[in-house]
Structures are given as structure tokens and as C-alpha cells.
Structure 1
Amino acid sequence: MTTQTIEHLPTTRFADSARAVDGVATDAAAFDAWLADCRDRFRNTVSPRPLDALQGWSVDPRTGDVGHVSGRFFTVRGLDVHLPGAAVDHWQQPIISQPEAGILGILVKEFDGVLHCLMQAKVEPGNVNGVQLSPTVQATRSNYSGVHRGKAVPYLEHFRDTAPHRVLADVLQSEQGAWFHRKRNRNLIVEATGPVEVLDGFCWLTLGQIHRLLGEDDLVNMDTRTVLSCFPAAVPDTRHAEAGPSYGELLRWVTEERTRRERHVREIPLNSVTGWQLSDGRITHRDGLFFDVVGVSVEAAGREVGHWDQPLLAPHGTGLVALLVREIDGVPHVLLHARTEVGNLDVLELGPTVQCTPQTYTHLPPEARPRFLDTVLQAPPDRVLFSAVHSEEGGRFLHARTRYVILQADPGLSLADRPDYRWTALHDTAALLRHSNYLNIQARSILACLHGLAGRDGRETS
């Protein structure tokens, strides 16, 4: 898979689009009317159904694993985890095993010299509010290869055969490492070279319009946020970033952290997972903690398939993702955490400063409490640069919501004795987005929000 070099593209195109708060193709009033109409027409009904009664799914009598009868889509299995030296060094849990890579793609095109993104109003069974703003294409391999026997995925041809178009970004990226085992999706941004018909449920928006919408709760979905983070607008000068000493030091730090840590994980039968049980048609932790695995039956309008059953992972509590930011010698920096997660392909990826579900830590040892969590929770309002609640993947998680917060760091903040945290220049962080397995999904989501802040203020992000 080859990524066309983005440094040859004029970055002013993306900056101009980020400053355009009213689109040429769709202005703010037209967007509001379009979204209201889509939400009125694209409704879904999600009803609980026992895992062992899901149509098209089965519970394996030998292993207890929950899988689709086709052997595709995904499987809920067990995972055994051993992290030597961690505050909690051994546990078992259910996890979603989805080894196939899907496509998350945004199609872009200029109108009157302003770059626009083709966005979709998409309903997902796990969304708290039904329709959210999705990329042009958001599809698993099972979906776009027709396993569901539904309608074809609109605009898919632009991302499966990119030869006639201009590829602005193309990279495999991970998803939630605590809930997925080795899941990755291909993040693509493709500039169309010819006319594009706007189908029902789609509209053209500028980057500036999307950045504004990131400030609204439960509107811009997770798949849009991860693709936005890979946008060339977020990488103003990767040639100098990758050539500079700070970028090399960043790569060496990641390599050192990966080398010194141990992580041992193996898939095990779901019915052998200690501390979890299948009862009353759902899988729960014996103490009612962390998450449940539940079954649902879905009736949806505006989808390739109008009815289906599936399992969903239902987390307990609202998550928190926070990013501390500061300027060092006039250069914007973000505080990243080298974070080991059980489902990642590599030992660790870089995460935001804080990533957790706060209520979980009332049941764990004090030493397991995330560093800087109290700094975030006790931050004075004048240090909060951004705060919004966003939904996570509504196709796999039921009402999974996270508050995303960007904070101006206290100048006296100390990283003493914390080699797993590092102040990283924003242009170096953005350069990592051209590569797989460096920044986790939570980091990419909060970086999309940060780039949106800079775009709205008319500032560069480097």
C-alpha cells in the first residue's frame, strides 16, 4: 500500500478549507436542515435480545465464543493478559476479535477553490442518538464484500480503485486496544478528479464546518475523527519534522518503551474467562464492573441492510480522554503517554495524557490510578480549551461515550520519574500519523479536536 507524498500539495488549500465556516456547497443553515431531515428519516429501533437467541449468530457449545454463522464480521472471545510490573499484572476478559481491516474514507473535492469533504449521515445501533456524521465510506471487509447480502456501499469504488484520483492519506490505524484484539482500519482521504453525484444522506462540508461540529456532543462519529486526524491539514511540514532531531528522538523513545516492556496475551475460550459469566443472555463481570456484552436486534432505515441482530459491548460509565498542551520555545507541544493496551498489534501505542473511565478506579489499587487524572478533574475552567462528549464506535459499542478535554498545562507540571510520558512537538506528533501503530484511536480523536481548535482560530498547528 503506497501513500502518495502529501508534501507536494499546497497546504494553503487545507488551511483555507479549515477557515471556511460556511461551505460553498452547503452553508450552515442548509446543513442544519439536512441533518434534521436525515435524523427524521433515518431512524432505528434497537431492542435487547439474549446473546444465545441472536438471529445469524451462535454461542459455541464448546468454547462459549459468540460468532456469526458465516464465520465473518467479528467474534467475542476470551483474552488472558499478563503485564509484568503493572499495578494490575494479570487478568482475563472478553474481547472483540475482528482481524479483517475495513475502510474508513473521506472523499474530498474543490468547489470555487475551497476544499470540501463528502460526509454521510449514518445511523449506528450503538449510538445514543441514532444518526451521526460519518465518513464517506465506513465499512468492514465483510460488509463491502457482500456477506450481509445487502445493498452495495456507496462511493466504495473511489477507495478500492484510487488510480483515477489523488490519494492524500492512506494508512492502517488501530482501534480501541482495551476492547478489540488487533483490529485495524484503513484510513483514506481521496481527492476526486471528476464529477461526484451527491446521494441521499450525503453532503459536502468544509473542514471549518466539520471543526465547528466537533464542539457539539455526539455528532461527529469516531470514524470521522480518526480520518480527520490523518488529514494533510494537520501535517503542515512533515519533511522538516521527520528530518529534525526531535522527530528522531521521538521514534527512539517509542522504540525504547516497546523494548523494555513485557506483554503476554493469548486468546482463550470465552467460557473459561475468570470473573465473567454468561447469565440472562448477556456476559457480565461478577462485580458488575467494566462492561457487559449484550445482544440487540436492529431495525434501521438508510442502511445497506434494514434488519439484523448482533452483539455489542456496553461499557459502564462515561470515559475521559484529556490532552495537556503547552508551548516550549514558541512551539506547540502535547503531553503523550506511551500506553500498553492488550489488543494492540504492537506492545504499545502513544495515547493522550489521560485515558480512562474514572469510576473504574474506585475498585482498583491506588497505584493503578492514572497519572494526571486529578490534574484534569481539578483543572480551573480558564485552563480548559475544549470539552465535548463524543460517541465511540456505534457499530460495536452500545452507548459508549467519552468526554474529550484539552487543557492548557500548568507551567510547573513535572514529569519527574515518569519515562512513559513525553512532551512532543505537535508537528512531530502529526508526522507520526502517516504511519501505522504509533498513535491510538483516543489520541487521534483528541488531535482532531485540537487541529479543529487551531483551524477555527486561524492559527497554524505547527
Structure 2
Amino acid sequence: MPSQVLQRREVHSPPARIAASAATTDGVHLSTEHFDSWLTERRTANTFRVDRIPFTEMDGWSFQEHTGNLVHRSGRFFTVEGLHFTEDGQPHGDGPPSDWYQPVIRQYEVGILGILAKEFDGVLHFLMQAKMEPGNPNLLQLSPTVQATRSNYTKAHKGGDVKYIEHFIGPDRGRVVVDVRQSEHGSWFSQKTNRNMVVETTDEVPLQDDFCWLTLGQINELLHRDNVINMDSRTVLSCLPAADTSAGALLSDTELLSWITGERTRHCVRTERAPLGHLPGWKRHTTAIEHEAGRYFNVVAVSAQAENREVTGWTQPLFEPVGPGIHAFLTREIEGTPHVLVQAKVEPGLVDTIELAPTVQYTPHNYAHLRDEEHPRFADSVRRATGDRIRYDAVHAEEGGRFLNAESRCLIIEADDTDAPLDPPPGYAWATPAQLTSLVRHSHYLNVQARTMLACLNATKTRTR
């Protein structure tokens, strides 16, 4: 094949075009320096309000008589019910106790998290939405072009159309760049997945209010700011294809997959449904369902208003953690190749026992009553990191449609052999970013926190080139 043809294919390959977009920090529609004023304008253009309310003031939601489960009268959207988790065999580190009850969100529908891409002046841009979610600490964050459950885009709520949904379903959608089902929070959802998509179009796309075109370079810059890029955007961005630079990995791809399979095999996990109204250790009050120890999370109710949503006013339950979390990747160069330390984390709501998680993923408040040595492994390495060793540090919120004020400090930290040995303890392994990018092309390998951290890692690599 002629060399000029090979070069042309390389330039126009998805990884090359994505890399070019990541290297472009000003877009044709909105410059980075004008982004803040645009977002402020979108925030003031509409009325947003969220109020906590008693459970009895929720419209359409009620507790079932016999189970105490919290359900919607339509039978759609989601339910809050109980879950009983048990595990036999080897310990699994920072996870639930081996016999554990908790409330959980059960949502059978597979939603669409879709980002529309289009080339302007030879550079890929991505259509992002300034979307209000009732659980967001600052209400308005950048979401994917489409962030909708099946109930939303089939209009079970009897509201307006989901904008741009036609680009992601049906025969006339554009060229698919990413299409993979990924898990949501395994600690709070029961086997919930969403379809993560990036679709490129060559059609004219009318620009609606609350939407803007940004290059990947601009999005990566915004990922360094607190609470701007929402969780759904982060998980989709983590799935973007990249050039294969997996040479030099401590574990070969086959060895890494074998390690994951071994971790899934050594944990014997069982989950079963339990009535929400009869969960040991949990009590329901007028405004909250909470654990008697004052730890973990609460189930609360809110009333929300947003003039630019498909439905402008509604009520719903939300899960509210008792404090902010910490998600951290420890990184090392091993024989000249960057690696990150991942853990095989058991979570009650996962489909397949474990998924790869950040090195450290925990809520410090839940461990405040314990000695430091009883905190999760490597938490001390994160706590004592300072200065140049911290390569990335930002606060990001979890999914604001189901979780209230659920923020986590996301950190990427350069480690040494004292912090993170090359021969890590059971349940941990070194992997290259390229290996994680390869795994995230498939379902149920990286949990949602690890996908956020992968998006942050990619943003950090772009900034330091």
C-alpha cells in the first residue's frame, strides 16, 4: 500500500482525530475564555430551585404497604428498595461487610448517555449541554448531548421531547465512534447500566439553547475545574478510543485479563432483594431513611424546578452520602512506561462481582471512628501526598439525577516504592492507561469512579504534553 495512503488513514483514524481535538484548546463556537460568561448566562436564563421536602409531599411517589419500597405510581423511572448482600471466602478490602443490608436504587431501563461529535475547520468538536440536575451542588453542569432514560425519551413523564435524541437511535444516526454499556454506582444501584455513546454527524445541526460545541482540549481544561463536567460526561469521555501505546506494560493484556478473572472467581457474592421497610440498621423518619450509626448515606426527598427541562417541575427521592469521598489513582513509571494502581473492588450492585476501581475509593466520614491503620489500603499514601507529587486535584460530583451533594475529591498522585510497591497486595494490580482504555471499550471492567479517573488522567496527559 502506498505510504501516502497509510499516512492519510493515520491522520483520519479516530484516535488521531481525537488526539488532534485534545490538542486544540479553542473552538469555533465558544472560546475557552468566554465559557464562564456563557455558563453564567445559561444559569441566569432559567429559574432553578431545589427544596427538601417530607416524603409525604412527593407527587406520584409512595411507600408500598407490605414492603415499604418507594415506588412511582406509573411503574416507571426507578424504585428504592432493600438489598441483602453476603460474601463468603477471601476478604475484599474496602467494601461492605460480609453480611450487609442497605437501600438500593433499582432501575431496569438502560439510559442513553450520548455525545454528538462534528468536525469544524478540520477539528472534532463535541456538543455539550448545560443541564440542571437536582442533586448537583451547583445545579448546572456540562452533560452529554443526550442524558436520558428510556422513560425520558419515550416521554413517560408526558413532558417535552429530548433534544438531539434522533442522532443516537434509529436508522439515520451518524457514524458510531463509541457504543458500550457501562455500569453505574455499584454501591447505590442494583445492576444498573447505561449506554455510553459518541456519534459523529456530517449533517447540519441547529444549535439549541443550553448547548455548545467544544473541542476535547477545551473539555479537558474544564475537567481541571471543580464541578463543571458532570459524571455522565466523564464516563462517556473515558470511552473515547486512543492510540495503542500499551508496550512496556508490567502485565501483558492476557495476564491482566487473567488477574481480573481470578479476582472475580475468588469472591463468592450473593445479593437478594429485601423489603425497604424492614432493613436491619435502617430507620425511616419524616424526611429521611438513615442508618442508625449515622454513616453511609441517607434517602431523602426533594422538590425541583427547572424551566428548561422536559418537565419543568417534579418531586423525587435522592440518595445523599454523609460526606465527600476520595477517589485517587497512584501512578508510577515502570521501566519508562506510566502505570496506575487499580483495585478489584466488590460492590453490591455490580453485575459481575468486581470491577476495576481507583487505587483509593472511599468516604472518610465512614472511617472516622476507626484508627488510621483500619482505613482502606493506600489511603495514608493519598493523605500524605503534597506538592509536585499531586498531578491532578479537582472535586467532581456524582450523578445529580439520583444523588444529592455527592462530591468526591479526585486525585492523581505520583507514588514511589514506599507508597505503592511493584508487587502490590492481593486485590491490586498495575495497569497502563492504554490497557484501561482498551478495557473500557467493553462492559463491566472499569467502575464509574475509575472511568472518571481515566477521563481526568487523559486530561492531565493533554495538559502536560
The alignment's TM-score, normalised by the length of structure 1, stands at: 0.93
Residues 42 and 131 of structure 1 are in contact (CA less than 8 Å); yes or no, is this contact kept in structure 2? no
Structure 2 distance, partners of 1:415, 1:247, is 17
Structure 1 distance, partners of 2:124, 2:333, is 30
Structure 1 distance, partners of 2:169, 2:260, is 32
Residues 1:76 and 2:80 aligned together: yes
1:24 to 10, 22, 28: 28
1:251 to 245, 257, 279: 257
* 1:125 corresponds to: 134
**Gaps in structure 1 of 5+ consecutive residues:** 1-5
Matched ranges for 1:183-202 at <5 A: 183-202=192-211
Q: Displacement, 1:364? A: 5.6
From the superposition, tell whether residues 150 and 375 of structure 1 become closer, same or farther in structure 2 (CA, over 3 Å).
same
Residues 1:106 and 2:106 aligned together: no
Residues 1:308 and 2:314 aligned together: yes
> Identity rate of aligned residues, in percent?
51
Q: 154-163 vs 204-213, which deviates more?
A: 154-163
Q: Displacement, 1:145? A: 1.1
Deviations 1:304-345 (A, max 9, x none): 100101000011111000001111122211100011100001
2:150 to 137, 141, 153: 141
Root-mean-square deviation (CA, aligned residues, Å) is: 2.0
* 1:284 corresponds to: 290
* 1:392 corresponds to: 398
Residues 25 and 111 of structure 1 are in contact (CA less than 8 Å); yes or no, is this contact kept in structure 2? no
Residues 14 and 177 of structure 2 are in contact (CA less than 8 Å); yes or no, is this contact kept in structure 1? no
Structure 1 distance, partners of 2:130, 2:171, is 23
Residues 1:271 and 2:280 aligned together: no
2:381 to 351, 354, 375: 375
Q: Displacement, 1:270? A: 0.4
Structure 1 distance, partners of 2:384, 2:150, is 43
Count of aligned positions: 449
Residues 1:444 and 2:451 aligned together: yes
From the superposition, tell whether residues 111 and 7 of structure 1 become closer, same or farther in structure 2 (CA, over 3 Å).
closer
1:49 counterpart letter in structure 2: I
1:176 counterpart letter in structure 2: H
Deviations 1:405-427 (A, max 9, x none): 00011144326571210011221
* 1:54 corresponds to: 58
From the superposition, tell whether residues 164 and 453 of structure 1 become closer, same or farther in structure 2 (CA, over 3 Å).
same
SS at the partner of 1:195?
coil
1:278 counterpart letter in structure 2: R
2:327 counterpart letter in structure 1: V
Deviations 1:53-90 (A, max 9, x none): 31011110110000111111110001111122447321
1:324 counterpart letter in structure 2: L
Q: Displacement, 1:166? A: 0.7
Structure 1 distance, partners of 2:269, 2:11, is 37
From the superposition, tell whether residues 417 and 382 of structure 1 become closer, same or farther in structure 2 (CA, over 3 Å).
closer
Q: 259-268 vs 117-126, which deviates more?
A: 259-268
SS at the partner of 1:104?
strand
From the superposition, tell whether residues 263 and 111 of structure 1 become closer, same or farther in structure 2 (CA, over 3 Å).
same
Q: Displacement, 1:10? A: 4.5
* 2:434 corresponds to: 427
Structure 2 distance, partners of 1:25, 1:161, is 28
1:382 counterpart letter in structure 2: D
Deviations 1:102-123 (A, max 9, x none): 0000000111001100000000
1:14 to 14, 18, 25: 18
Structure 2 distance, partners of 1:52, 1:60, is 13
Q: Displacement, 1:9? A: 2.1
Residues 1:33 and 2:37 aligned together: yes
From the superposition, tell whether residues 415 and 245 of structure 1 become closer, same or farther in structure 2 (CA, over 3 Å).
closer
1:261 to 264, 267, 277: 267
Deviations 1:186-214 (A, max 9, x none): 00000012111110110000000000001
Structure 1 distance, partners of 2:430, 2:84, is 33
Q: 48-57 vs 316-325, which deviates more?
A: 48-57
1:175 counterpart letter in structure 2: E
Q: Which runs of 4+ in 1 moved over 4 A?
A: 364-368
Matched ranges for 1:229-244 at <5 A: 229-232=238-241, 235-237=242-244
Residues 1:157 and 2:166 aligned together: yes
Q: Displacement, 1:451? A: 0.2
SS at the partner of 1:287?
coil
1:352 counterpart letter in structure 2: P
Structure 2 distance, partners of 1:78, 1:30, is 46
SS at the partner of 1:181?
coil
Q: Displacement, 1:163? A: 4.6
**Gaps in structure 2 of 5+ consecutive residues:** 1-9
Q: 42-51 vs 96-105, which deviates more?
A: 42-51
1:207 counterpart letter in structure 2: L
Residues 85 and 269 of structure 2 are in contact (CA less than 8 Å); yes or no, is this contact kept in structure 1? yes
* 2:303 corresponds to: 297
Structure 1 distance, partners of 2:424, 2:434, is 26
SS at the partner of 1:450?
helix
Deviations 1:210-259 (A, max 9, x none): 00001111111000000000012xx2128x77x99711111111001101
* 1:3 corresponds to: none
SS at the partner of 1:263?
strand
1:76 counterpart letter in structure 2: V
Deviations 1:154-184 (A, max 9, x none): 0001001265411001000001100111111
Residues 291 and 316 of structure 1 are in contact (CA less than 8 Å); yes or no, is this contact kept in structure 2? yes
Q: Displacement, 1:11? A: 2.4
From the superposition, tell whether residues 189 and 30 of structure 1 become closer, same or farther in structure 2 (CA, over 3 Å).
same
